[in-house]
Amino acid sequence: MELHALTIHELQDKLRAGETTAADILASVCRRIDAVEDKVHAYITLTREAAELQAAAADAAIRRGEMEALTGMPIALKDILCTRGVPTTCGSRILADFVPPYDATVVEKLRAAGAVLVGKTNLDEFAMGSSTETSYFGATRNPWDLDRIPGGSSGGSAAAVAADECVAALGSDTGGSIRQPAALCGVVGMKPTYGRVSRFGLVAFASSLDQVGPLTKDVEDAAILMNVIAGHDPREATSATVEVPDYRSFLNRGVAGLRIGVPREYFLAGIDPEVRVAVEAALGVLEAGGARLVEISLPHTEYCLAVYCIVAPAEACSNLARYDGVRYGFRAPEGRDLLDMYKQSRSAGFGAEVKRRIVIGTYVLSSGYYEAYYKQASRVRALIRRDFDQAFTRCDVIATPTSPTAAFRIGERIDDPLKMYLSDILTISANLAGIPGITVPCGFTAGGLPMGLQFLAGAFQEGLLIQAGAAYETLAATGPLIARRKRERMPLD
């Protein structure tokens, strides 16, 4: 098998054994990018020359007997994470030429762990979308079917991992933007607990919802990346001081005796029959492995989308006010005065979806409507959080479908915002409650499209998610299944 197709832990074993080098691994990934990137469009910016220097430094460190957690591993970054000296566009015209003077904390941690950073991946503009179609730089395509979306907003990261254009990637998750594209691209994606991973240097969409997390080829790689990026950051006000365990220690614990909650609200009308069957089969696999299935209820689930569609635009409206064409970013050249320059810069710099959310956010925060919308949504959000608190007294983790459908066709929902927002109906609750979630592949549709199984756990219980996800991978042998299906079905191969 080609080096670019291997996992982090498999490549680390080869490096330790002297069977390959960081330079060889990077060269394999670069050849793969050259072969498939024009079809997938996973990246906005490639940093090949810098990556070659990092790979050379990694090989020198290995020769000195110094090997960190990610030494020599080619990692991609969602282009919403600030990178010193490398453009950070957020998929938007308004930041198309923005080059940050500093690294995000997670980027600093990757560098310190020896990672080789190969590029910045495509995304829905400012992470506002579920299909990676709203990027100023064009749509990303699903490697399993190039006529279909990869999910969003971290679609570039998910597609890059699925297509073996990197070994792993980081994304951000505001309402499912790591987990949904991971599920649709057949990879693993984790949204950590709010506060577990620093948001310093993550360009804000909705500050009470955003979280950085890994997209990987298997659960063990997710554990490796979480060990690197998790932890308190004094530069980030919402960063938690909770102790971080060794996530790899949860990998081989199995599910015997684990109580898995199955919420009836997540299996109602609207779930594609193939998805339902796949997830129910996965639950059967877990039960056969010794887990105990417990039916639970999350009664306020039906309000999650409405709450999200108030809270997220309201926070986005506030966060995006800084893009005015004055200090940085795109500036319209023909403004008659300062106010006209603001209007023209923002009108031309933002895409339709971003402007739609700014308008919604402005409305729900405006005088006379704040109490009726934003404050009321905040109250219901507290009830959603309480539902989960009560559920976790009866179960250890919760299992649900990740997405109600497999990947849909490019253009199919772009003109129907409500239908697009429904793509995240099963993931947004975790962001509203601030709890962690992980998705693992759980099979394919008859048409060969991946589907995902989502696990949710209580705050700062990422270890339980890794335990459940790794056990399911072993019991269902999904790793070999994905590899075989790639060879048989992925049009890139």
Residue 239 annotated to the active site: no
Residue 172 annotated to the active site: no
CA distances from 176 to 11, 88, 215, 228, 367 (A): 29, 21, 12, 22, 30
Cα 126 to its chain centre, rounded Å, is 13
Peptide bond before residue 367 is cis, with ω within 30 degrees of 0: no
Tokens of 7: 């996992």
The answer to whether the CB of 270 falls within 8 A of the CB of 425 is: yes
**What gap in Å lies between CA 167 and CA 9, rounded to an integer?**
10
Residue 158's φ and ψ, nearest 5 degrees, are -65, -45
Residue 364's φ and ψ, nearest 5 degrees, are -75, -15
Cα 173 to its chain centre, rounded Å, is 5
- Grouping H, G, I as helix, E, B as strand and the rest as coil, residue 243 is coil
Q: Report the phi/psi class of residue 438: left, alpha or beta, with left for phi > 0 and alpha for psi in -120 to 50.
A: beta
**What gap in Å lies between CA 155 and CA 140, rounded to an integer?**
7
Closest CA to 394 of 295, 464, 472, 290: 295
Which residues, including other chains, have CB under 8 Å from residue 36's CB and lie 6 or more apart? 143, 163, 165, 492
Please tell me which residue in 154, 157, 177, 423 is annotated as part of the active site.
Answer: 177
Please tell me which residue in 135, 153, 157, 345 is annotated as part of the active site.
Answer: 153
DSSP 71-129: TT-EEEEETTB-BTTB---TT-GGGTT---SS--HHHHHHHHTT-EEEEEE--SGGG--
Residue 153 annotated to the active site: yes
**What gap in Å lies between CA 419 and CA 421, rounded to an integer?**
5
Which residues, including other chains, have CB under 8 Å from residue 133's CB and lie 6 or more apart? 124, 139, 149, 152, 410, 411, 414
Tokens of 83: 């990178």
**What's the maximum distance between 2 C-alpha atoms anywhere in the chain?**
70
DSSP 6-74: S-HHHHHHHHHTTS--HHHHHHHHHHHHHHHHHHH--EEEE-HHHHHHHHHHHHHHHHTT---TTTT-E
Which amino acid belongs to residue 41? Answer: H
Tokens of 163: 């297509």
Q: Angle at Cα 135 formed by Cα 421 and Cα 270, nearest 5°? A: 20
The answer to whether the CB of 287 falls within 8 A of the CB of 254 is: no
Catalytic residues: 78, 153, 177
